[in-house]
Amino acid sequence: MLGAARDIKQRYKHIDYLFLNSSHSQLERIDYVQATKDFFTQPIKAFTVGTFKVQGISKTSLDGFASVFQANVLSPWYLINEIIPVLKDGGRIIWISTSIALPEMLSEDDLGLVKCKYSYEASKYEIELLQHATYQSLYNKYGIQSWLLHPGVFKSTTFVPTLNVFAYVGMFLMFYICRLFGSKYHCIYPEVAANAPVWAAVGSDPEKDDMSLKYGSATDRWGNEVLERAKLQVVPGLSEKIYEYVERQRKELQSRLKDQVVERYLY
């Protein structure tokens, strides 16, 4: 993080767009029995939320944090604060969450995601609340825009290590079936999933568009692109609690790293 922040500040006078798309997870395997059951009972939910994914408890990083929390929540917030000088006066922070960041995935007693069995989804919900707690102050104090969005569901190599070729092809076909039966989140193709991120970068206007909303890449059942706008699911008081917790961890890490010197040639 320090190396990245140092390079950014030395190489660039201003950063226009900062895409935060950290997606570290502890996915261990696919429960094929559960997947078969859900295929017949709740197929759209199963292939949107991924009810059959089995995640392990987040491993601990060398810094002593749960690795999913550190990668997906703490590190992006740390980087933002380090490069505010080159983001201010017009820079855009684009937080990329997920359509399955749900309040029920996060326990208020485990904000560090140490014991959480759904740490990926919980970490994404935490960044949503972190954005919600900070977007206005970043804009008012520094002129930095902060947008929250999700790319929908699309084909990627994320699940390849846990799927055999038949399961991967079957999942891909299910995406089409889910979309045909009304799921707006199954963008399927990465270029369609990029709709919301591109809009946030070059099409959004803080004077007309609401930064408190969650924007999303979506489609109709025939695959035509749609930009979704939705109110964030905010548990009362939790945004402030998340901000205070993450900011406390950031300051602690900053204190630990204050004497670390990062030097390397700039290419």
Residues taking part in catalysis:
97, 120, 124
Is residue 2 a contact partner of residue 260, using CB atoms and an 8 Å limit? yes
Closest to 24 in 3D by CA, of 104, 106, 108, 127: 127
Cβ-Cβ contacts under 8 Å for 215 (sequence gap 6 or more): 147, 148, 149, 150, 196, 199, 200, 204, 227, 228, 229, 230
223: left (phi over 0), alpha (psi -120 to 50) or beta: left
Name the DSSP class of 60: B
Q: Which residue type is seen at 14?
A: H
Measure the CA dihedral 37/42/45/46, to 10°: 10
